[in-house]
Structure 1
Amino acid sequence: VEREKEIENFIPEKSYSLEIKLKKDSLTILSELYYKNKLYKTKNREELIKFCEEKLLNNLVNLKKVEEKTEKKSPPLPLKTTTLIETSQKILGYEPKQTMYYAQRLYENGYITYMRTDSVRVSDYAQRMAKEFIKLYFGEKFVGRERKIRQSKFVQDAHECIRPTDVFREEVPLSEQEKKLYQLIRTYFIASQMSPAEYLIKTYIFTNKNLGKDYFLKATFKNLLFEGFLKVLKGEKEEKEFIDLKAGEIFEILDWKIKEHITEPPSPYTSSTLIKKLESLGIGRPSTYATLLDILYKRKYVIKEKGYLRPTELGKEVCEYLIKSFPEFLDYKFTSQMEEDLEKVVENKKTYQEIISFNYEILKNYL
């Protein structure tokens, strides 16, 4: 309901930037106008046209500087319940309930580890097996180093990540949907244990006397040097052909275009992004995420519309009534603290009487 209000109250804003096509002999490249290391944007379209006509048209530009650096792209973390649900919905189109059902089947048949987990920890045994697999099929260079991972304060870490019990097992004799989910879990686990991908980034800075001190044209190109984990996790495409230039080269301005930028409202939640939000707030646990969504559907508080969750009128009314009538109980921090307190009862750090007494005192104010 809060997200729906954000979307309804959102006021889009327009701004404009300048794209310039540069030419030297048969080579053409696209650049953009920058000001003090930031893409130059203005809300005044005419101002940008005037700037272009006065400072750039019928002029040459000089390639003043070539900046070169290598950049690493880290592999994904091993899957946990929330990321399994998110990735499964994005790649396979499975709803959270479907994902957890298929994962349960894989777990019961001994093909994956426990699927209700909030941890990305990998056991020593699984790390050794993954290293052996990667070295055998891809070579030593593709074996990733151990990473230090900062986990959320809400993580219980009772179970390790979701991974195949045998990384060498390629297929499982189950339904087509379960096979696809197994392949996704296996692929992501292998990728998570591989080395980063490496790119060469070249940035070209063009200037001329008319532009002045703080304005310049910039073009960036990216070239994949080493695949790393992308060897198994395909999908990343290069946006443009890599071009190698040298400082001092002169280009003419061939053409220009005004680019319009419109700020976007927050996106409505999908099943997986709502679960991710709940996790970030410390609300719910891996064993309850799919059930929470089920309750929202069954009580007709939300409907699914073009893949997004939308609150119904009933959902809005119930939400507004509860917030107005029981503000303390509807506070996100209250729910998160309750989850923590219940964990402390399990760990014998608190008694259930303490928690009940504390909450009863709050409840008395509403009775």
Structure 2
Amino acid sequence: ISNVAIAEVTDYIGKTYGSDYLPDKPRFYKSRKNAQDGHEAIRPSMPGLEPDKIKSSLTSDQYKLYKLIWSRFTASQMADCIQKTTQADIEANGYTFKASGYYVDFPGFTALYVESKDEAEEKSTQLPPLEKDMPVRCKELKKNQHFTQPPARYTEASLIKTLEEYGIGRPSTYAATITTLTSREYVKREAKTLVPTELGEAITTLMKERFPDIVNVKFTAEMEEELDSVESGDVQWVELLDGFYGDFENTLKDAKKDMEGVKIKLKEDETDLICDKCGRQMVVKVGRYGKFIACPGYPECKNIVKFVEKTGVPCPKCGGDIIVKHTKSKRVFYGCSNYPNCDFVSWNEPVNEKCPNCGEILFKKKGKKPTVFCAKEGCGFSKTLKTEEK
């Protein structure tokens, strides 16, 4: 951040919020190790130009983007938030209960900007006034059972954050990395999460078995550092590549020899279709362009059929099958198999359940609290799914 920008935003904070909201001295932040910091950070050109002042001149998306940049930039030069925490131990019939709470004593930068979270966090509350050895009355006892949950699947944002933490890649390579994972169908998107496919798991297992020294986090991060050394002139690139390729060449030869004639076999799902050329029951296969239905008698029989993933829910307009479709960007949506004669489409997954109010089919809305709802205008029915229904 330039000194001019810091002076302008400091002046704005002092006039708008008061001197208490200014730190003792301007804040300067260290860049990440792999940051491309050849220029200033993205910031508003005029810190005093508040988002609401120019809202009427911006589109909705432009306003949201500007407000995010302006708020984060301004908050980065404000004083810390001060919270006061209380912890208490309560003794009752030989048991010890612990309670904690906090309250904000001074909001600081949180008066303007609070970092959002991917995962929901339990909110702490302020405890009532407490004194040592004071008697307390039990107002209510709740029995809650908690199960250990597996780690959450990566989203695009959390995957990029992890790559940054390990020092892997550059900001300019993150989009290409995720595009490769999805376009080659190593992962698939489910709502906001990235779920590994059978192909992705098979490839990962094979690579880890054959190239354990390369397919690991440390190697990738260390290679980034060595390439930076080449850029700075501390290491010659020929020397670096020679040191790497000696061992890699032998590993590659062994892998080629051991894998000669070996094919990765993915689980093939049988369909209810019968090959009209040879009478075999056709199966689902995966190729470079995705799934397709083929005769298991290949190469004697080369009959193939376009793969259609059915949801098992009838179309509410014509009674045909609702099938899974994809946009050019691989986003999933649902449509009628009788298109173009039937134009039914939905971004939400249909479920084989009727609305108790109007009798129309219900749709599933994914998220932190998955729900099923009725899309019929004026109905308004919805319910939150239980754990076993998700």
- The answer to whether TM tops 0.5 is yes
Residue 129 of structure 2 aligns to which amino acid in structure 1?
Answer: D
1:330 to 208, 215, 219: 215
Report the 3-state secondary structure (helix = DSSP H, G, I; strand = E; otherwise coil) of the residue aligned with 1:257: coil
2:104 to 224, 248, 252: 224
Q: Are 1:252 and 2:137 counterparts?
A: yes
Give deviations 1:203-238, integer Å, cap 9, x for gaps. 344336x42xxx533333422221111211258997
Q: Which structure has the highest helix share of the two? A: 1
User: CA shift at 1:175, angstroms?
Assistant: 4.4
Give the distance between the partners of 1:354 and 1:165, measured in 2 at CA. Answer: 45
1:162 to 42, 58, 65: 42
**Are the structure 2 counterparts of residues 342 and 227 from structure 1 closer, same or farther at C-alpha, using a change threshold of 3 Å?**
same
Q: How does 1:55-134 map to 2 (within 5 A)?
A: 122-134=1-13
The residue aligned with 1:135 is 14
Give deviations 1:131-157, integer Å, cap 9, x for gaps. 111111101000124558676655565
Residue 141 of structure 1 aligns to which amino acid in structure 2?
Answer: D
Where relative contact order (Cα < 8 A, 6+ residues apart) is larger, the structure is 1
Structure 1 residue ranges without an equivalent (≥5): 1-121
TM-score (norm 2): 0.55
Q: Which of the two has higher C-alpha Rg?
A: 2
2:206 to 321, 327, 342: 321
**Are the structure 2 counterparts of residues 348 and 221 from structure 1 closer, same or farther at C-alpha, using a change threshold of 3 Å?**
closer
**Are the structure 2 counterparts of residues 340 and 202 from structure 1 closer, same or farther at C-alpha, using a change threshold of 3 Å?**
closer
User: CA shift at 1:126, angstroms?
Assistant: 2.9
Percent of pairs with identical residues: 32
User: CA shift at 1:283, angstroms?
Assistant: 1.0
The residue aligned with 1:303 is 188
User: CA shift at 1:197, angstroms?
Assistant: 1.7
User: CA shift at 1:351, angstroms?
Assistant: 2.3
Give the distance between the partners of 1:348 and 1:181, measured in 2 at CA. Answer: 39
User: CA shift at 1:359, angstroms?
Assistant: 2.2
Give the distance between the partners of 1:255 and 1:169, measured in 2 at CA. Answer: 51
Give the distance between the partners of 1:245 and 1:329, measured in 2 at CA. Answer: 57
Give the distance between the partners of 2:7 and 2:175, measured in 1 at CA. Answer: 33
Q: How does 1:283-302 map to 2 (within 5 A)?
A: 283-302=168-187
* Alignment check: 8 A CA contact 2:86 2:101 kept: yes
**Are the structure 2 counterparts of residues 158 and 362 from structure 1 closer, same or farther at C-alpha, using a change threshold of 3 Å?**
farther
**Are the structure 2 counterparts of residues 310 and 140 from structure 1 closer, same or farther at C-alpha, using a change threshold of 3 Å?**
same
**Are the structure 2 counterparts of residues 175 and 325 from structure 1 closer, same or farther at C-alpha, using a change threshold of 3 Å?**
farther
User: CA shift at 1:189, angstroms?
Assistant: 1.4
TM-score (norm 1): 0.58
Give deviations 1:296-335, integer Å, cap 9, x for gaps. 1222211111210011122222222222222222232222
Report the 3-state secondary structure (helix = DSSP H, G, I; strand = E; otherwise coil) of the residue aligned with 1:261: coil
Give the distance between the partners of 2:174 and 2:64, measured in 1 at CA. Answer: 22
Give the RMSD, CA atoms, in angstroms: 2.9
The residue aligned with 2:165 is 280
User: CA shift at 1:345, angstroms?
Assistant: 2.1
**Are the structure 2 counterparts of residues 151 and 250 from structure 1 closer, same or farther at C-alpha, using a change threshold of 3 Å?**
same
1:362 to 239, 244, 247: 247
Q: Are 1:187 and 2:67 counterparts?
A: no
* Alignment check: 8 A CA contact 1:221 1:243 kept: no
Residue 125 of structure 1 aligns to which amino acid in structure 2?
Answer: V
* Number of corresponding residues: 242
* Alignment check: 8 A CA contact 1:223 1:238 kept: no
Give the distance between the partners of 2:59 and 2:241, measured in 1 at CA. Answer: 46
Report the 3-state secondary structure (helix = DSSP H, G, I; strand = E; otherwise coil) of the residue aligned with 1:253: coil
Residue 67 of structure 2 aligns to which amino acid in structure 1?
Answer: Q
Give the distance between the partners of 2:207 and 2:133, measured in 1 at CA. Answer: 67
Structure 2 residue ranges without an equivalent (≥5): 117-121, 254-390
Residue 345 of structure 1 aligns to which amino acid in structure 2?
Answer: V
